[in-house]
Amino acid sequence: MEESVVWQFNRSMEEILGVKEVDVREYSPLTLAYIGDSIYDLIIKSLVVNEGNRPVKELHRQTSRYVKASAQSQMMRVLQDKLTEEEHGVYKRGRNAKSVSPARNQSVTDYRRATGFEALMGYLYLRKEWTRMLELVKEGLESLAESE
């Protein structure tokens, strides 16, 4: 991504929407997972739409394969060894957070590992470490493709 585009997006978020710099260390792991879930969903939807125009039902089916907890959990098994100490700490905080919502149709282990993954995505997004976030997503998706 061209540096000026990133800078322009940041500036627009600040000027137009009033988004301010934050200290992500002050956010709970579940808050990080909340925003991380959204940004990861947007990344996957962008990739799926980029593959070509299709009926929305097919777009949703394809997206669901990658955003479900079991897929995120599988990705995290591969990514854990590639995380920095700080990133691993964020992941563990997210994984160990007590969530209010139950794991629907997912094992508790997968759900918790996925929550850690989403917390990590939220952390990297809010720190504007988008290149690192996308590198990890790419590696995780490649690991899913290899296991198919």
Active site residues per annotation: 37
91 within 8 A of 116, measured Cβ to Cβ: yes
CA pseudo-torsion sign 123, 128, 129, 133? positive
CA dist., res. 107 & res. 26, Å (int)? 29
Return the residue matching tokens 């899913």: 144
Crossing angle of helices 56-67 and 29-50, rounded to 10°: 140
What backbone torsions phi and psi does residue 6 show, to the nearest 5 degrees?
-60, -45
CB distance 128 to 1 below 8 Å: no
CA distances from 100 to 21, 30, 39, 103, 115 (A): 28, 10, 21, 10, 12
